[in-house]
Homo-oligomer: A and B are copies of this chain.
């Protein structure tokens, strides 16, 4: 019997409709680099879903590439990007932002690994007051011309800890950003799972209204790969193409990206399959609670952070795929279990046989 994995939300291929669409279009000759009609069609559907007819959109291949390219488009050479200390760009992108010449300015602690008490709904997020205070302190420092200027703000939704901004929180951050003339960039690698959470009041339209650029993650939400980058108010540069190319991020067969988002944004497929991941996560949580498991935090999305005995973990190792997250106590560690667009009740049942 093969191992079942909840280690991440990118262990499987794509929604079957995407593979079907690939097959159907396989021999239709397409112009290169995303200049095709399918990409246009996908963009239109996304604009509609965002209720943002004037949005500019392009498609990239993965998260780090997207973060690097977008941030590079937003910043002047002497500017850095503000992020939570736990932000993906601050920790897990091998210095991709610094590689393109910019500092990540962290404004929240980088995840105090042992202090389990502090993991509330704030973990992974920044807040408007802190952001404002940081920027004001910067400009009131006599030496600020010798420091890295804050040039944009990066947030992720859901965050790396599966937490979500409330509409109020997002609105406050957006307001501060506009006051301070800082573009706001929302990393939506798992956006679908955020939007379909049962505990969110944030819609796709809200995000389009409140940010300057965000991306709709495909890789982790039903696509083979791909992220749709949306600039609700237009591009920050006259020539996005050479910047994308320069980052090695311009796919020759760009239509493959367009086709996937065209499929995902037909008949609300993106939202439906996102909803599945949420429902399966809720089911898993229920089961785990019943069995007395404790959680690192109360995650409202598809990633669940579960405390587990070290002994138990060794036991299930051969049968269950998981991600080690951090220490929890002497005898326990935290593992991440992620559901996804294709997780079934049977998968959950199977998993629970071991937990």
B-contacting residues of A (Cβ < 8 Å)?
2-5, 7-8, 10-14, 16, 19, 22-23, 25-32, 61-66, 68-69, 72, 76-78, 80, 91-96, 98-104, 142-143, 145-149, 219-220, 224-225, 237, 239, 241-243, 245-253, 256, 321, 324, 342
The answer to whether A247 and B99 touch across the interface, beta carbons within 8 angstroms, is yes
Bound-state Cα–Cα, A3 to B30, Å: 10
Q: Known: A8-B32, A29-B4. Contact between A77 and B99, CB under 8 A?
A: yes
The answer to whether A92 and B147 touch across the interface, beta carbons within 8 angstroms, is yes
24 A-B pairs within 8 Å (CB atoms) are namely A10-B252, A11-B32, A12-B27, A12-B29, A13-B253, A19-B22, A19-B23, A64-B245, A64-B248, A72-B77, A76-B237, A76-B239, A77-B99, A78-B94, A78-B239, A78-B242, A92-B146, A94-B148, A94-B246, A96-B245, A96-B246, A98-B101, A145-B245, A147-B242
Taken together, the copies of this chain in the complex come to 4
Nearest B residue (CB) for A91: B147
Bound-state Cα–Cα, A249 to B63, Å: 10
Cβ contact of A145, chosen from B10, B219, B239, cutoff 8 A:
B239
User: Which residues of chain B are near A77, meaning CB under 8 Å?
Assistant: 72, 99, 243, 246
User: Which residues of chain B are near A65, meaning CB under 8 Å?
Assistant: 248-249
Q: Known: A11-B32, A147-B91, A239-B149. Contact between A225 and B252, CB under 8 A?
A: yes
